[in-house]
Structure 1
Amino acid sequence: MRPQSSPSRRQSLRPRRTGAAVTAAGLATLAAALTACSGGTSAAADTKTDKPDISVNLQGKQAKAGSPVEVKLAEGKLKQVTVTDTKGAKLSGEVAANGTTWTSDRKAAPGTSYKVKAVTDEGGSARTSFRTAAPEHVNKLSLAPGKDTTVGVAQPLSVVFDHPVKNKAEVEKHLKVTTSNDTTGSWGWIKNHDGKDRVDWRPKSYWKSGTKVKLDAELNGVDSGADGGWFVRDYATGFTVGRSQQVKVDLDSKQATLVRDGQSVKTVPMSAGTPGGDKASWGGTSVLMAKEGTINMRSETVGLGDAYDKMVDNSMRLTWSGMYAHAAPWNAAYFGNTNHSSGCIGMSDADASWLYGQVRVGDPFEVSGSGSKGAPEPGNGYGEWNISWADWQTKSALN
């Protein structure tokens, strides 16, 4: 990128001329001229001082990223400073009370070229530029739920990182959650089921229907730490919470009930996982992760050997480890009387089709009764609802 002015030359700043008192010649230039400085030694132009009038803490073409941009004025007062990258994005900032220093609110991102323009109270201006060094490693992330979606009352905000995050507190400070009704919630750091670092924001209790939620992950220029790398962009998502409903699964009665706005809508017979081993269902609360429709289910993918290989309809994923609610017509003899599946919640074709049409991603499935294998880990789907609010808050890196 070509700088607007050379770092080795001084720019003259002339006062604004008004009226007939200003003639075309014979006037002295402004004594405290601003100098564009991007490294090296400034030479005098049409002033008599050797000192540069402005200086920038980041200079040259290999400036170190990860710190705020600071512009200092030797004499006079700054009125405005603009720092812009090649895409036109600006770093916001503030002039200090004494008027001699401007500091950006955010940090300079790696591998980015910036233009700096400083304007004084007297109307003079100077420009300079610099570029930060390219990052050795870049960290990326994925967000859930997707932007502009409508989700159930148990859906957390979930951020999964491609690489390890050692600077968890620094990263968490740049994750800004805004809700339409000031919902109380907290971030919590956990391990995703695949072992990746993950941070979720869940409310103290289920969301209120109609809540609008926005996440601004202002991570551009943040270092995630050793082996993780830099973030080189910002991320954002937002969603709306839909109607309040839960699916209550009773392992003792072998019944599943859809509850909406506190009222039971329908109860259907089902058969859950066989108690006493790996085929038992997960207990506690799981959250509907996806409605996957008709999929191939193979037992070896969940560590159960060659027990089954079936095309399964109306599949509703509840955990990463393979627990679903779905149609299971081959198990019809057990609906309502025996838990005899390989861990999933099976129903008739008709009942599974009906439930599939009623639920949405983010709805909680609350599994109670005897014979489960306990609650899933927080990272096995969205299992954080099985942790008390007090314990969840301790998982924030800022506590």
Structure 2
Amino acid sequence: MRSRRSRLWTSLVAVALIAGVVSGCSGGEDGTIVPPAESVARLTLTPEAGETGMPVSTELGVTVTDGGVEEVTLRDEDGDAVSGAMRADGSAWVPDSPLEYRTRYTATASAVDAEHRVVTAETSFTTMAEPRDRVEASLWNTADYEYGHAMPVMIDFPPDFEVPEKHRAQVERRLFVTSDPPQPGVWHWFTGGHLEYRPESFWKPGSVVTVRAALEGVPLGGDRYGAGDVTRKIHFDDTARVIEVSNEDKVMVAKENGEAVKSMDISLGKASTPSYSGTMTVMEKLEHTVFDTTAQCGGRVSGDDCYRTPVDWAQRLTWSGQFIHSAPWSVADQGVRNVSHGCVNVSAGNAEWIFDFARVGDPVIITGTEAELPYGDGFTAFDLSWEEFREGSYLAGPGADADADAGTGSPDTDLPDVRHVRGAAHPHPARRRGGGRVRRY
């Protein structure tokens, strides 16, 4: 749709043309008609006219010199218009949904120069046949949960597939993120099959993040192409909670909006199985579970490290098995010494309290232990510095300007806005995707 300014410029152009014709009819001194001056703007559209076999993820490249884009339209072979919008950087026009396979499209565009004179361009192209080998990625975050403010946006490809390195920039370019309030961020590839998005600091309380994973038809190497085009709103809780764990003091402190609300004694990992230090994220919440290490011991229960133990109020922090959980057997040690296999041990009452307090996505910051959190062992986006995190992007390397809104999709504003009470379990369990050694609980 044209903006008011665009319509005004068009009107001014029309008026200028009419004025030129009228004055021309009156003639110059020698009675000749003076034609209106041509626009100095130069406008180029891609794909080039006649291109065939184009991916259904094709965007219209729009290049303008000495002017600005006024309008872009795209129509299919039946003449039906395709909705879309320009990227924020003005580099391309992005359809709001995947194009159809085996379909001819015609694009037209107009641009105006500083004197409001219009230039137009047109191109046409045909999309490819639907490929046989399509790879569907999944957006991990759900729309019906309010996350803690250290929760990254996460994309997973199937476990047996990794995006070839030369195609990762194009995949990133098709992952559109906007946030309210605006918070610039970037993507980081932890592996070729898993990437996470975050802003420089924790998400602001109450943020709403809209993600469009527009991967249908994106080339992924060989004869493989992306499948699916998903738009989702992700909600963040309006309270900023942080859980701080100090090995030096053997204490865990729960904070809300910067204020301490409860302190409790803890016991961390003993010398042979130290807890990890770092900025972790609550990954999943289990009111009751069983910690079972017998698979590592040939199926037997024996000794200190081969056990099958029922556990209450467990909150996962790493893929490798570091939890906050109820440990009534170590109450005498809590606040005094470390005796666990790496977990954060608390009393039954404190475990239930912190379980109700925290949400999936809340940050848990552990300090002072002998071991550092391994890269990718859990939702570790915020364990990296901003510079380190940016280095994992194929579009925003060191020194580049990251812009969360550098690309415009078509967010679905009708997605459900479901709010859950604090302490509710995340609707999907955490799923392992690489990173970290297997630990005993």
**Normalising by the residue count of structure 1, what TM-score does the alignment of the two structures yield?**
0.68
RMSD: 3.4
- Specify the alignment match of 1:294 in structure 2: 288
* Letter matched to residue 391 of structure 2: T
CA distance in 2, matches of 1:248, 1:341: 18
In 1, the alpha carbon distance for the partners of 2:107 and 2:170 equals 30
Shift of 1:292: 1.9
Q: What amino acid does structure 2 have at the position aligned with 1:375? A: L
Contact 2:317 2:324 in 1 (8 A): yes
Structure 2 matches for 1:65-144, cutoff 5 A?
Answer: 65=55, 68=58, 81-83=74-76, 90=82, 92=84, 105-106=94-95, 112-114=101-103, 132-144=128-140
Which structure is higher in helix share? 2
Closer/same/farther in 2, CA of residues 202 and 112 from structure 1, 3 Å limit: same
1:236 maps to 2:231: yes
Q: Structure 1 pair 93/187, CA: closer, same or farther in 2 (3 Å)?
A: closer
Aligned equivalents of 2:77, 2:148: Cα separation in 1 = 40
* Corresponding residue of 1:183: 183
SS at match of 1:333: coil
Aligned mates of 1:348, 1:84 — CA distance in 2: 68
> Counterpart of 1:396?
393
Aligned to 1:208: 204
Map of 2:415 onto structure 1:
none
Cα deviation for residue 383 of structure 1 reads 1.4
Kindly indicate whether the alpha-carbon contact (under 8 Å) linking 2:56 and 2:100 is maintained by their aligned counterparts in 1: no
Q: AA paired with 2:171?
A: V
Distance 1:261 1:214 in 2: 24
- 2:251/2:335 contact within 8 Å kept: yes
Q: Which has the larger radius of gyration?
A: 1
Q: TM-score, normalised by structure 2?
A: 0.62
- 1:382 maps onto 2:379 in alignment: yes
Q: Which whole-Å CA distance do the structure 2 matches of 1:184 and 1:238 have between them?
A: 17
Q: Counterpart of 1:236 in structure 2: which amino acid?
A: T
| Aligned equivalent of 1:173 | 173
Corresponding pairs, count: 308
Residue 139 of structure 1 deviates from its aligned partner by: 1.4
Amino acid paired to 1:380: D
State yes or no: 1:314 paired with 2:318. Answer: no
Partner amino acid, structure 2, of 1:165: V
The runs of 5 or more residues in structure 1 that have no matched partner are 1-54, 71-78, 95-102, 120-127
Q: Note if contact 1:107-1:222 (Cα within 8 Å) is conserved in structure 2.
A: no
Give the AA of the match of 2:390. Q
3-state SS, counterpart of residue 313 of structure 1:
strand
**Aligned-pair distance for 1:131?**
6.8
Give the aligned residue type for 2:341.
S
Aligned to 2:363: 364
Counterparts in 2 of 1:64 and 1:187: CA distance versus 1, 3 Å? closer
- Show the 5 A alignment for 1:42-81: 57=50, 63=53, 65=55, 68=58, 81=74
Q: Residue in 2 aligned with 1:247?
A: 243
**Residues 215 and 302 of structure 1: is their aligned pair in 2 closer, same or farther, counting only changes over 3 Å?**
farther
In structure 2, C-alpha distance between the alignment counterparts of 1:91 and 1:161, rounded to whole Å: 28
Q: Measure, in 1, the Cα distance between the counterparts of 2:106 and 2:393.
A: 39
Most deviating of 147-156 and 349-358 = 147-156
Q: Is the 8 A contact 2:282 2:316 kept in 1?
A: yes
Query: Which one of 240, 258, 264 corresponds to residue 254 of structure 2?
Result: 258
* Gap regions ≥5 residues in structure 2: 1-47, 61-71, 87-91, 109-123, 398-441
Asked if structure 2 preserves the Cα contact closer than 8 Å seen for 1:108 and 1:132, the reply is no
**Cα separation, 2, equivalents of 1:129 and 1:189:** 33
CA distance in 1, matches of 2:81, 2:214: 13
Q: Conserved in 1, the CA contact under 8 Å of 2:139 and 2:213?
A: no
Percent identical among aligned pairs is 27
Moved more, 321-330 or 104-113: 104-113
Kept in 2: contact 1:164–1:224 (CA 8 A): no
Q: Within 1, Cα distance between the matches of 2:259 and 2:377? A: 29
**Deviations 1:342-367 (Å, cap 9, x if unpaired)?**
11111111110111001001101100
Shift, 1:224, TM fit: 2.0
CA change 1:342–1:82 in 2 (3 A) is same
Asked if residue 341 in structure 1 is aligned to residue 331 in structure 2, the reply is no
Distance 1:151 1:294 in 2: 21
Matched, 1:350 2:343: no
Pick one of 265, 268, 274 that aligns with 1:272: 268
What is the one-letter code of the residue matched to 1:339? N
SS at 2:221 equivalent: coil
- How many Å apart are 1:145 and its aligned residue? 2.0
Contact 2:59–2:93 (CA under 8 A) maintained in structure 1: yes
Deviation by residue 1:119-162 (Cα, 9 ceiling, x = unmatched): 9xxxxxxxx99773232421112223211421111111111112
Would you say the 8 A contact 1:83–1:91 is kept in 2? no
CA deviation map 1:57-113 (0-9, x unaligned) = 366xxx45357499xxxxxxxx9652289xx9946489xxxxxxxx97459969835
- Match of 1:391, SS state, is helix
In the TM superposition, what is the alpha-carbon distance from 1:232 to its structure 2 partner? 2.5
- 1:302–1:284 CA distance, 2 compared to 1 (3 A): farther
Note closer, same or farther for the CA distance 1:343–1:210 as it changes in structure 2 (3 Å cut).
same
Q: Distance in 1 between the 2:380 and 2:104 partners?
A: 47
CA distance in 1, matches of 2:348, 2:321: 20
Kindly indicate whether the alpha-carbon contact (under 8 Å) linking 1:83 and 1:115 is maintained by their aligned counterparts in 2.
yes
The one-letter amino acid paired with 1:213 is V
Deviations 1:167-220 (A, max 9, x none): 1100101111101121122211112xxxx6211111111111111111111222
Local SS of the residue matching 2:205: coil
